[in-house]
Structure 1
């Protein structure tokens, strides 16, 4: 598990801090043998309010399989922090966690049946809120077939999410659905939440809190998760990828448009595609790496 602490991208300090906190909380309660008791119940909310349980339910997974799938998804969704910046991504995390918790509390108030009144713990709200922009804003770049069944490069993320959603059956489905509702509210810009920002010292705190890495400090990408795509001015791909590399044919317009829709400057997108020989996945990696320098 320590390997995951170090592979999280340099350009996503908030994601790195959240992954580390989630892993540490899970290990801590697991060692104490309390993992199975972390889920929220009706009595926890409307009986004797237990603040420690609320905090634990945000970070700690109740089992090792949930931890592995959850951390994998959190790590993948770091792409959103890279796109909108650590400050706005911190707002997205806070909004997703609070909104999903409120939905869970409402569900617990309505469903008092002992068979369904326990909600499993873990950052389900944040993870499944992230599936909303993942579904709507991340394009499919590759299709392939396995035993006659069509899959895309996004299929593995959906499968990991489905596994996590069904990991504890009713106990995990409920917080997963609450997370999707929270992500939808963010998408709809309720209370103009997408324009909200924290003071800069908040994200600076996360940068200092996370374990140091060998990369450069995070840059400030400017794309909103749900649209409004300013360009990354002045970031030339040639800076990191020499012009001596063999050039490919002129990139297709639809490939350039796909990268532009992800928040990259049109000229940089074209150059990346040339260097990647029109492989959109490689071009995306080139552009993301160029951002981090």
Structure 2
């Protein structure tokens, strides 16, 4: 399976909170026999009994241990999206995508009653698939291979696991999954500028003060090897080497122009700005990149044409580390 960066939840506190919360709620629902209160059903729970709490509970816990295990594995591997977005933007994405998908699910329940759709099963199916859409659009393929004459890539393992999650309550789980894909697409398209929304500054400060200390994870051990090749004994042919290179790019932001820009973000009056919202690319250079630099980036981004790789290197002033970030931000 494609590596999602260093093991653990370093730089991913929101993902850690979501997994702990989902596991705890699923366990409590099982022990206290609350499972019948989790699924979302229009008639009679919403229309007659007015159990509007189901709009929330149907997305916070799975109904059985198999779904919890598979869903937890998928969410764990998708923590790479939080490392790419930043925790503030990722938390906003979780809220926005959950709200949009809930409205879409209600619409599906009302419009598809005639074909037998009676309820939406318990579990964050919609959020997982909204997150999976971001993964599909943002994370490049590391390697490709053929199986029985079919062209496949390293991202298919995560897709197969997500597909297994749908099959556990098929066909009812198919509806929230589709709603999640639509919500993820709407967020990625920035409809009504929803990508710019962030939680209020007061809530961000409270979370940083009271939640972050409990969710903080120690950073992964750093290699003492002077080069990336020395760390892995080779180039960027494996996904783990590529992800370590990208993660090392973020870890080394301790000084220079990038750090000064990040410091300026925290001093602005708009705390919602993240590193993705600021152009961190230096002024392009006219010096052509070397063939070795181009081949190195093409090995990391096989889907990118040579012109795009060359343009990224020139924009990064022939700095391979910065060129990696330029290509990732192009998404």
Q: Deviations over 1:125-175 (max 9, x none)?
A: 211111222222221111134455443110011101111122201221111
Give the unaligned 5+ runs of structure 2.
1-6, 220-249, 252-261, 263-273, 283-291
State the aligned residue count: 250
The residue number in structure 1 matching 2:211 is 209
Secondary structure of 1:58 counterpart: coil
Q: Deviations over 1:1-48 (max 9, x none)?
A: xxxxxx641201111111111111111101123325521111222222
Residue of structure 1 equivalent to 2:171: 170
1:9 corresponds to: 9
How much does 1:256 deviate?
A: 6.4
8 Å CA contact retained: 1:256, 1:270:
no
Q: Aligned with 1:141: secondary structure?
A: coil
Mapped to 2, the partners of 1:178 and 1:115 lie a distance apart of 17
Q: What is residue 25 of structure 1 aligned with on the other side?
A: 25
| SS of equivalent to 1:151 | strand
Q: Which of 231, 249, 252 matches 2:280?
A: 231
- How has the CA–CA distance of structure 1 residues 114 and 256 changed in structure 2, closer, same or farther, with 3 Å as cutoff? closer
Task: Give the 3-state SS of the residue equivalent to 2:152 in structure 1.
Answer: strand
Give the RMSD, CA atoms, in angstroms: 3.5
> Larger radius of gyration, structure 1 or 2?
2
Q: Residues 126 and 35 from structure 1, CA distance in 2 versus in 1: closer, same or farther, beyond 3 angstroms?
A: same
Match runs of 1:186-205 below 5 Å: 186-205=187-206
Q: TM-score, normalised by structure 2?
A: 0.65
Distance 1:84 1:222 in 2: 8
Instruction: Provide the C-alpha distance between the structure 2 equivalents of 1:214 and 1:81, rounded to a whole number of angstroms.
Output: 14
Structure 1's 110 and 74: CA in aligned 2 closer, same or farther, altered over 3 A?
same
Contact 1:17 1:209 in 2 (8 A): no
Shift of 1:93: 0.8
Match of 1:3 in 2: none
Distance 1:250 1:110, change over 3 A: closer
CA distance in 1, matches of 2:13, 2:217: 13
Distance in structure 1 (CA, Å) of the matches to 2:279 and 2:144: 29
Name the CA distance, whole Å, in 2 between partners of 1:20 and 1:204: 21
Structure 1 unaligned spans of 5+: 1-6, 234-248, 274-282, 288-293
1:62 alignment partner in structure 2:
63
Tell me how far 1:118 sits from its aligned partner: 1.0
